[in-house]
Structure 1
Amino acid sequence: MALHTWWLFIVTVFFISASPGPNMLHVMTRSLEHGVSLAIMAMIGCFTAVLCLLAASAAGLTAVLLAIPGAFSVMKILGAGYLVWLGYKAWTSPVAEGEGTVDIAPETSTPSRWQLFRTAFTISISNPKALVFAAAFLPLFLDPARPKSGQFAVMVATFGVVEFSWYFIYALGGRSLARWLQRPERRRLFNRVTGGVFVAFGLAMAGTRA
């Protein structure tokens, strides 16, 4: 993987991970309920599940790309189309009043660290979209002239670092971040910046030579 391609990957993953999906909202909720120190176990649970899904997807993709001639070009085109579709969905996502609020119910007892890890891992690993996303997204940044397993390893590690960094931001930002995203105009701006980045990178990667 060339250095400029890796930087494109980092920027794209930065916006992908920033989106307040189930993992991020779960980490933020745990932080508000139990504090950042205990929420770290929820972060580790989500992080472990994400790495498992990405590693499984990368292993399968490596086998497919090595076994089927022309698979790289097909997967790259499909992946670029998927990234553009994600951008369209983000850009046109409706924004309602009150979106972004997080209601925290009072906890009667503090869960153990193992319970925090297990719950977070279950939430993250049960999301089948992660596998589909990885299968469509990772091949966009492959250099077919270089060993694929090493490139997948770099991408999985990079994704993990960026994802875990955003866990901390959501945990530390807590309610302030939720309130910031609650404003419709801010959430709309966030959606359109994210959508624009997805579409731009999807079109750019589709135009590169396989």
Structure 2
Amino acid sequence: MPDLANLLGFAAIALGMVLTPGPNMIYLISRSICQGPGAGLISLGGVALGFVVYLLCAALGITAIVMAVPYAYDALRIAGAGYLLWLAWQAVRPNGRAAFQPRTLPHDPARKLFLMGLLTSLLNPKIAVLYLSLLPQFIRPEQGHVLGQSLALGFTQIAISVTVNAMIALTAGSVAAFLSRRPVWALAQRWLMGSVLAGLALKMLTEARR
């Protein structure tokens, strides 16, 4: 197990990251508004499984291989950036809708909700970078059990992310109602969200492979 100082430091960074808008948050908000909090929570299960996949790969050293192969990482990075740009366009396009704006969509079955959450998580290469570049900074080999320390830190991040995103899924409807009564706020939210997503996509496309 990592010592308390390392665990708390890593937890603080994980909290800051989950509060930053990204594809996982946008998908969960959209799904919760479209189909209700229950659907958002099911989708969150898929997102969490994506975290577990990346964590296990990093802890076992497999992610290092992926990051060492240019085409493997670049394909994932480009796919993730493309998905972010599509979300940004959906937010700012003429007659478009914001992530928090209620909309009428067909209700997807639980299986599809879970799989879409998983896909959204796996197409976010920043999660792979998080586990590969951040975890080693909080691991102390002299304390032994490197694998155990990696898993403890990783599951701490997953617990924080799931807790925060569950709260977002449960309250997305209330936030949407607030924005629907204030059109100016809703318009500003659309452009802010679109700008953030586009910025994240461009950064993902232009940053050097790590």
Shift of 1:173: 2.5
Partner of residue 109 from structure 2, selected from 79, 100, 112: 112
Counterpart for residue 50 of structure 1:
51
Q: Distance in 1 between matches of 2:46 and 2:110?
A: 10
> SS of the counterpart of 2:61?
helix
TM-score (norm 2): 0.63
Counterpart for residue 159 of structure 2:
161
User: Could you report, residue by residue, the CA deviation over 1:111-143 in whole angstroms, capped at 9, with x for unpaired residues?
Assistant: 100010011111111222221221111111111
Unaligned runs of 5+ in 2: 66-91, 180-184, 197-210
Counterpart for residue 127 of structure 2:
130
Matched-pair identity in %: 23
User: Could you report, residue by residue, the CA deviation over 1:55-95 in whole angstroms, capped at 9, with x for unpaired residues?
Assistant: 2112117999xxxxxxxxxxxxxxxxxxxxxxxxxxxxxxx
Counterpart for residue 139 of structure 1:
136
Shift of 1:171: 0.7
Are the counterparts in 2 of residues 62 and 149 from structure 1 also a CA contact under 8 Å?
Answer: no
- CA, structure 1 residues 62+3, in 2 after alignment: closer, same or farther (shift >3 Å)? farther
Q: Distance in 2 between matches of 1:63 and 1:16?
A: 22
- CA, structure 1 residues 3+38, in 2 after alignment: closer, same or farther (shift >3 Å)? same
Counterpart for residue 38 of structure 1:
39
Unaligned runs of 5+ in 1: 65-96, 192-210
- Counterpart of 2:146, as a letter, is K
Q: Distance in 1 between matches of 2:187 and 2:16?
A: 18
Counterpart for residue 172 of structure 2:
174
Shift of 1:105: 3.7
TM-score (norm 1): 0.63
- Counterpart of 2:122, as a letter, is I
Shift of 1:42: 0.2
Q: Distance in 2 between matches of 1:35 and 1:152?
A: 35
CA-atom RMSD in angstroms: 3.0
